[in-house]
Structure 1
Amino acid sequence: MTYSGIPYAAPPVDERRWRPPVRPRSWSGVRDATTPSPPCPQRGMAGFEDCLYLDVTAPRNTRRGGRLPVLVWLHGGGLTSGGAQQQDGVELAVDGDLVVVTINYRLGALGFLSAPSLEGGGNYGLMDQAAALRWVRGNAARFGGDPHNVTLAGQSGGARAVCAQLASPMSRGLFHRAISQSGACDNPVLTLAAAQEFGVRATEDLGCAAAADIAGCLRERTPAELLDIFVGVGMAVNGRVADRPWGPVAGTRVLPQQPGEALRTGGAARVPLLVGGTRDEMRSFVSNQAGLTAEQYRSMLTETFGDQATVVLGKYPVTDYDSPALALATVLSDWGGAIGACPVLRTAEAAATRRPVYAYEFAEDSGQVTTGGFPMGAYHGVDMPYLWTLDPAWPNPYPEPTAAQRRLSATMIDYWSAFAHNGDPNGPRRPHWPEFGDTGTVLTLSTSGIAPTPFAATHRCDFWSALPR
């Protein structure tokens, strides 16, 4: 049973744009909960500023006042796209005996603009997520959920937001477990100084720098004008998370520390963590460069790693790979400046000193090959249909699953839902998942087998840890 379009905060429009969310108006009588939550403004899709809604999916026989675990999902999309309707939580809810909550939160400039003229230092999207968690605490029992057994989960940009919420005092006590898929907490986010530099440039580009009321001028700009600011900035294939203008901002009241630092120093919420990613994260981003030459590969390494490029080239010689593009994808996937393996490992290592951690790598090859002959492997996002039913209104590049892949999907749902129930993914009729602990165990997930994998060695994380980040 799914209840759609439930407001968890007042519309962030007009004077409420770029302000912390506040409670929505209450209603009398029965509210229609059959209309999908409208997406927030984003490029390539019609969206609405009045978008702070969530959807709740629960098993049909769930009783009001029941005590099912709650899983709150933060969608991916680089914090600039996506929505609550993108992933349908029916399979997780029914097969995992969970109440699943998927939320919208403000995106792009509307969610993360940090400018001296605006209060809060950016992070409005993070504030929305915390408001949704407060709504869950106050209302989960009405849908049969336990407000004291909440797992916060997300993928890609949503995983980066999970990391920020782990480090944020604002969300302390609002969730009790965390799942980070393909978005490592170790990757630094924007500092306040860097975010405000972007904010000053945005203010100038929007023609508001000389206005008597800069904040008022910014609030008069249309969503379309805001969506056109900094298109493509920081999105180079060899870029870093902190190169991007829209995302969590550290050094603020909402996020005092970098998420990775908070994990290392004990400043993050001490809740069990399930963390991992796909084996070939960056292949989908490199796939449009299938014609890369060996010389271009060397140039890309120089651009990315500067005076360390020769060392990287020695570790990843182009002759070891079927193509220069595949060599580049491997370097970027292991290094993980934007998304990749070794930051996931460092996240698990930092977290495991103070909380239970379970680490995984999704290694099921997609079997997809581009028209240019580039093998996609286990690319970023290819694990999503193994856990979620994807809404047909959103892009779905993933192949139809085989019978063996459907069995893998069922096992993954068992793991994820068990973790949401009690912080431990283990249970009957599936391979044992050892805690990461002191041994650094990472579980590989594929139809070829589910077992510990030499993750650090495969992705050469000792090599990367010795290089400047």
Structure 2
Amino acid sequence: MTGYYLRASACMTIVVIMLRCAACITVQTPVGPISGLAETLTVDGRQYRMSTFRSIPFAESTAGENRFKKPIPKAPFLSTFDATKIPMACFPSSANFKVYGGYINFTEDCLTLNVYVPHRFEKNVSLPVMIWIYGGAFVQGAASDYPGDGISAFGNVIVVTVNYRLGMFGFIQSADGRLPGNQGLWDQHLGIKWVHDNIQAFTGNPNDVTIFGESAGGASVVFQSLYPGNQGYFQRVIAQSGSALAGWSVHPSPNANPFISKKGCERAPNYVECLRFLTPRQLQDDEFSFWKPVVDRDFLKASPHEIVFGNDSQTHNARNFFASLDLIVGANNFDGALNLFALSSTLNVTDINTFNLTRAQFTGIIIPHTISDAIKPKNDNIAAIMRNLLDFEYTDWQHPNDSATLWFSTINMSSDSGFFFPAVSTVKGHAALRKGKTYLYELSAVPTTHILPTPNWIQGSNHADDIQFVFGYPLYAGPQSTVNYTEEERRLARGMVTMWTNFAKSGDPNKPSDARRFTNAPWAEYDLNSQSFLQFTNQGALPGSRFEARRMQLWLDLIPTIALMETPQPHGTGTVHVPEIIIGK
């Protein structure tokens, strides 16, 4: 009886919160019975019958002896698991980080997933599955910040959102191997494997799975695509505003020592046990630039660039697996605005909307910051060449001192180095392998509501603005009211949801549903000759080719060539000789 009342109480609590719970529904799975919620959801004016299952554990708790280790698969349930509870989040790296959904409860027993099914099991179907991996710079975020019921209902697919460990909990690695690193990537892998093993019970097709993610989640899905241990677990990948080929997504070396010292464990007889003795709150730290995937020779046999573009026998299986997948990669036209507020701190700016950026600040602070962050030249002479090169390319020489153009040049440089160049590099590498289909996109719509704080002079899509359209927020009363959106935005959401779920169903965003009703244009495959891409705007979709061709040539070819040069010899006093070079058109 106690168990019955606990389950009933959980359902009643959800009814109060959701206001649309009709009943609880139980599914028999290979790991035991799981009880979720049967609901009715209105999307784009149409009612859908939905089944939702929250906080299903796919791994044992990562607390205690399991902290910093690879995840351990969850043992089968001894009784019906109550999947109606409000999900909890994995601890972020810093206590100052908040989960976007407002959750205040964090736990080390956080390796859970949520399943959204677009019916109430009255159908005998086998639906495509889409697994979402969230972003947050590998240091914050939670699966439940991304309700999947809108895209699930409108696109008629099963959506799964997966938690993974963050910050030092998920990405600490020591040189001696006692802290192996990439724990968060192993979490994602185990969640994907759980879906493969169990999704058939939810009427999902385990052989028709797409993984998709944004920002660090976009990088994560590419990382998963480079791990051949995922063979057979998914067939398609969508990377939004992030790639494993981005410099910000990989830490070049073991990252544990500074943290171990900071926490006072460097002199302990067993530093790992010392770290395990600390509470999660004691482990949290405001330094978060270290916490990201590492080349561990286990999950990642080599750097993502070496896997995609190399021919080493050690990376052969990883490269073949990546090549076999269908792939969509894209970015938002103002993705680089994400870095404006970090730069404003460096520049000591109080209001970025009114601050006048000077040419001296652009050349003396912003360009060197970009070089050290994205290029990491091997010596000062190469750095000097890079400063001249970026100044030449990104300065509007008709208005070299104009603050507005300098701000836009700053965003372009940030977008190129962090998002555009990694996206184009990824699709070029994939298309060159000539196996799976390849697609490239840009979102340039001007949203009514930005997801992240955005200067009022930006007329386009900031980082993360794609999420609201991909998840169909303008079409239903999800994270915010539909009245805040325009009809143009609702049309854009219909088009993007249709194309994303079309891709999950067929590997082709143009079919089976006719997305041109909303986008006005088909989406052509990317190949090395046409280099086609699709631009999503408020007015529909516009076909294009050779995305930002000149700037991409700079980052794809010219900058790497100069970075690998031998040290140039100075000529004269304080000057560096720059060899004659031709910037790609």
The C-alpha deviation readout for 1:48-95, integer Å capped at 9, x for no partner, is 111011000011244687310111110111111111101111121111
Pick closer, same or farther for the CA change 1:412–1:212 going to 2, 3 Å: same
CA distance in 2: counterparts of 1:64 and 1:113, whole angstroms: 45
**CA pair 137-130 structure 1, distance change in 2 beyond 3 A:** same
Q: Distance in 1 between matches of 2:454 and 2:230?
A: 45
How far did 1:375 drift? 2.0
- State the 1:124 CA deviation: 0.5
> Aligned match of 1:199 in 256, 266, 270?
256
Q: How has the CA–CA distance of structure 1 residues 73 and 372 changed in structure 2, closer, same or farther, with 3 Å as cutoff? A: closer
Q: 1:123 aligned to 2:153?
A: no
Matching of residue 164 in structure 1 with residue 223 in structure 2? yes
Contact 2:89 2:163 in 1 (8 A): yes
RMSD, matched Cα: 2.7
The one of 300, 323, 327 aligned to 2:409? 327
Distance 1:302 1:429 in 2: 44
Map of 1:234 onto structure 2? none
Moved more, 19-28 or 151-160: 19-28
Q: CA separation in 2, counterparts of 1:365 and 1:382?
A: 9
5 Å matches for 1:402-441?
A: 402-427=486-511, 428-430=514-516, 431-438=521-528, 439-441=530-532
Q: Contact 1:166 / 1:259 at 8 angstroms: preserved in 2?
A: no
SS at match of 2:559: coil
- Structure 1: how far apart are the matches of 2:220 and 2:298? 16
* SS of aligned partner of 1:250: coil
User: Within 1, Cα distance between the matches of 2:173 and 2:221?
Assistant: 20
Mapped contact 2:472–2:493 kept (Cα < 8 A): no
Does residue 262 in structure 1 map to residue 287 in structure 2?
no
Q: Which has the higher contact order (CA 8 A, sep 6+)?
A: 1
Matched, 1:228 2:285: yes
Corresponding residue for residue 360 of structure 2: 295
Residue of structure 1 in register with 2:338 after alignment: 284
**Alignment partner of 2:446 out of 351, 365, 368:** 365
Residue aligned with 2:335, SS: coil
Query: SS of the counterpart of 2:536?
Result: strand
Out of 16, 19, 36, the position equivalent to 2:86 is 36
Deviation for aligned residue 1:25: 2.9
Name the structure 1 match of 2:548: 457
Alpha-carbon distance change, 100 to 371 in structure 1, aligned in 2, over 3 angstroms: closer
State the AA in 1 paired with 2:544.
T
Encode CA deviations 1:320-347: one digit per residue, 9 max, x unaligned.
66242222111111232xxx21221111
Cα deviation for residue 186 of structure 1 reads: 2.2
1:209 to 257, 266, 287: 266
Q: Corresponding residue for 1:11? A: 61
Inter-CA distance 376–76: structure 2 relative to 1 (3 Å threshold): farther
Q: What is the aligned-residue identity percentage?
A: 28
Q: Does the CA-based 8 Å contact 1:205-1:229 persist in structure 2?
A: no
In the alignment, which residue of structure 1 is the partner of 2:484? Answer: 400
For 2:117 and 2:173, the matched residues in 1 are separated by 37
Matched residue, 1:239:
none
Q: Which residue of 1 aligns with 2:370?
A: 304
What SS does the aligned partner of 1:282 have? Answer: helix
Equivalent pairs counted in the alignment come to 451
Secondary structure at 1:353's aligned position in 2? helix
CA contact (8 A) 1:277 1:344 kept: yes
CA apart distance, 1:412: 0.5
Instruction: Confirm or deny: 8 A CA contact 1:184 1:343 kept in the other structure.
Output: yes
* Rounded Cα–Cα distance in structure 1 between residues aligned with 2:178 and 2:229: 16
In our comparison, the structure showing a higher alpha carbon Rg is 2
Q: Would the alpha carbon gap of residues 77 and 310 (structure 1) be closer, same or farther in structure 2, given more than 3 Å must change?
A: same
Q: Which residue in 1 is equivalent to 2:575?
A: none
1:187-227 Cα shifts (integer Å, max 9, x gaps): 246777x442x211111111111111111111112212222
The runs of 5 or more residues in structure 1 that have no matched partner are 232-243
Shift of 1:116: 3.8
Q: Which residue of 140, 148, 151 maps to 1:81?
A: 140
- Among 397, 420, 437, the alignment partner of 1:356 is 437
Contact 1:64 1:143 in 2 (8 A): no
Question: For residue 249 of structure 1, what is the aligned residue in structure 2?
Answer: 294
Task: Tell me the distance in 2 between the aligned counterparts of 1:326 and 1:425.
Answer: 32
Q: Which amino acid aligns with 2:360?
A: E
Say whether the 8 Å CA contact 1:10–1:52 is kept in structure 2. yes
Contact 1:188 1:260 in 2 (8 A): no
Listed one character per residue, the Cα deviations across residues 110-140 of structure 1 (whole Å, up to 9, x for unaligned) are 0001024654620000111111111111110
- Unaligned 5+ segments in structure 2 are 1-50, 99-103, 311-315, 372-382, 564-585
Match of 2:17 in 1: none
Measured at CA, do residues 64 and 109 of structure 1 come closer, stay the same or move farther in structure 2, by a change above 3 Å?
farther
SS in 2 for 1:129: helix
Contact in 2 for aligned 1:283/1:326 (Cα 8 Å): no
In structure 2, how many angstroms separate the alpha carbons of the residues matched to 1:399 and 1:256?
Answer: 49
Matched residue, 2:326: 272
Task: Report whether the alignment pairs 1:51 with 2:51.
Answer: no
Give the secondary-structure state (helix, strand or coil) at the position aligned to 2:180.
Answer: coil
